[in-house]
């Protein structure tokens, strides 16, 4: 007997459907609540405003990249290059800004423009040259990293003072960066729920041939998601520059895996066609709170890898039940 059948035994069809669809997400949020309880009981400083705003701001860094990654994965694609693009974006923004407030516009435009170009190239190679997204973005990971380290292996450029202060700005107790992330979350949710573009993503991820035959503009949609994903990485690069004040090529490695992990934990299928913004937010928060709690409790960070691995296995096992 399947576990799901046992779990959902005495429920109506609509209740079963609801639980199958959202049960694993509830599980992720349930786990977050458990972590919060552990944090609150084990560390007197975990539930302070200072620490919670710190966690919220940190979640934005991973969250913005994860949102872009989720859209790509919804179409049964993947983008392994986002970490390298974050690295290159930091350098480009720092070099163009060069510590001068008058260069803000040029630096932001250059960085977002970089994201746009990288996204278009990915879209072109996936759509027109018909190379698998995994291969395209794996190659891009190496190329963008190589370009970054060719520019400099040591810190270059700098952010202006107001740009650095943006990192610590708050509205009330809430960091502006966290508010920005929430705004992007809402926008993405609206995009997926109320626009044709959002429907197309699920359709392409569900079955690309059927989507094509149904008149879905597959190529255009895929250009769109790769551009959005790359721009989200560039935005994260700008935020990192605000966080550090200089362009440091040491940053960026491994962000792609963190983002993919958050998306998977949040219930987005790696095969496309299924995923929610609220789930991805859950994945981001789970990883963020785990990292924060491990520091609070003085636990070796390698345990974090172990915990992340266990969470992924547990999450996929839960979603597998749904699939069955």
Partner 1 sequence: MLRKLFYALFILSLLLGTSLVSIGQDDGMMEFEITQEMIDASPYLQSVLSRLDEVYDTSEFAKDPPYRIALAAQGTSNAWSALFDAHAYWYVEELGEDVVSELLYGDAQASADVQVPQVEDLLAQEPDALILVPMGAAALSAPVERAMMQGVPVVLCASAVETDNFVTEVGTNLFNIGAMLAQWLIEAVGEDGDFVMMTGIPGVTTSVIMEEGALAVFDSYGIELLDNQPGMWSPAEGKKIMETWLAQHGDAIDGIWTGGAQQAQGIISAYEDAEMAIPPIAGGEQQNGFLRSALEHGFDFLAWMYPNAMITLCLDAAVQILQGEPTPRFIDFINDMPEARPFTHAEAEDYYEPSWSDDVHGPITMSDEALAELGFLIEESG
- Binding interface with partner 1 (CB under 8 A): 43, 45, 48, 50-51, 54, 57-58, 61, 149, 153-155, 164, 167-168, 243-255, 291-292, 295-296, 298, 300-302
Residues 6+ apart with CB under 8 A from 149: 249
Structure tokens at 305: 């890898």
- From the number of C-beta atoms within 10 Å of its C-beta (0-12, 13-18, 19+), residue 6 rates as exposed
Of residues 151 and 179, the one with the C-beta less far from partner 1:
151
Report which secondary-structure segment, H or E, holds 276.
none
**Rounded distance, CA 176 to CA 87, Å?**
22
Could you tell me if 82 and 68 are in contact, meaning their C-beta atoms sit under 8 angstroms apart? yes
Which C-beta is closer to partner 1: that of 58 or that of 140? 58
Question: Residue 139 CB, nearest distance to partner 1 (Å)?
Answer: 21
Shorter beta-carbon distance to partner 1: residue 41 or 48: 48
| Per-residue tokens: 256 | 């792609």
**Minimum separation from the CB atom of position 301 to partner 1 (A):** 4
Residue whose CB is less far from partner 1, 74 or 85 = 85
Q: Is 2 helix (H, G, I), strand (E, B) or coil?
A: coil
CA distance 103 to 44: 43
Nearer of residues 115 and 252 to partner 1, judged by Cβ: 252
Q: How far is CA 304 from CA 23, 258, 290, in A?
A: 25, 12, 7
- For the CB of residue 211, give the shortest distance to partner 1 in the complex, in Å: 37
DSSP string, 231-258: HHHHHHHHHHHHHHSSB-TTS-TTHHHH
Residue whose CB is less far from partner 1, 102 or 300:
300
Least Å from the CB of residue 160 to partner 1: 13
Task: Give the Å distances, CA to CA, from 311 to 21, 87, 261, 262, 308.
Answer: 18, 27, 9, 10, 5
In whole angstroms, the minimum distance from the beta carbon of 147 to partner 1 comes to 14
What contacts 124, CB < 8 A, 6 or more positions away?
223
Report the candidate in 285, 256, 307 with the shortest Cα–Cα distance to residue 55: 285
Least spacing, CB of residue 120 vs partner 1, in Å: 27
84 versus 276: smaller Cβ distance to partner 1: 84
CB of 300 to partner 1, least distance (A): 5
Beta bridge partners of 175: 170
Q: How far is the CB of 99 from partner 1 (least distance, A)?
A: 13
């Amino acid at each position: 007997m399947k576990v799901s059948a046992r779990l959902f035994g005495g429920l109506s069809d609509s209740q079963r459907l609801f639980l199958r669809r959202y049960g694993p997400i509830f599980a992720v949020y349930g786990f977050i609540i458990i972590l919060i309880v552990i944090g609150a009981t084990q560390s007197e400083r975990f539930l302070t405003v200072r620490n919670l705003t710190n966690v919220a701001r940190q979640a934005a860094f991973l969250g913005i990249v994860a949102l872009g990654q989720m859209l790509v994965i919804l179409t049964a694609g993947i983008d392994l290059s986002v970490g390298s693009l974050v690295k290159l974006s930091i350098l480009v923004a720092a070099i163009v800004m060069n510590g001068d407030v008058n260069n803000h516009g040029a630096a932001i435009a250059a960085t977002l423009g970089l994201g746009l170009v990288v996204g278009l190239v990915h879209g072109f190679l996936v759509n027109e040259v018909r190379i698998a997204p995994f291969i395209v973005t794996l190659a891009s990971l190496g190329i963008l990293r190589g370009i970054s380290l060719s520019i400099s292996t040591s810190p270059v450029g700098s952010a202006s003072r107001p740009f650095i202060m943006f990192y610590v700005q708050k509205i009330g107790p809430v960091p502006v960066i966290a508010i920005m992330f929430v705004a992007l979350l809402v926008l993405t949710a609206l995009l997926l729920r109320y626009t044709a573009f959002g429907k197309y993503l699920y359709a392409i991820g569900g079955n690309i041939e059927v989507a094509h035959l149904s008149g879905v503009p597959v190529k255009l949609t895929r250009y769109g998601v790769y551009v959005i994903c790359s721009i989200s990485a560039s935005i994260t690069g700008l935020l990192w520059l605000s966080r550090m004040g200089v362009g440091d090529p040491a940053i960026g490695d491994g962000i792609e895996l963190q983002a993919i992990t958050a998306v998977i934990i949040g219930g987005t299928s790696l095969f496309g066609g299924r995923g929610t913004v609220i789930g991805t937010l859950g994945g981001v928060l789970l990883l963020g709170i785990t990292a924060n709690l491990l520091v609070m409790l003085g636990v070796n960070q390698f345990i974090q890898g172990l915990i992340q691995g266990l969470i992924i296995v547990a999450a996929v096992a839960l979603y597998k039940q749904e699939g069955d």
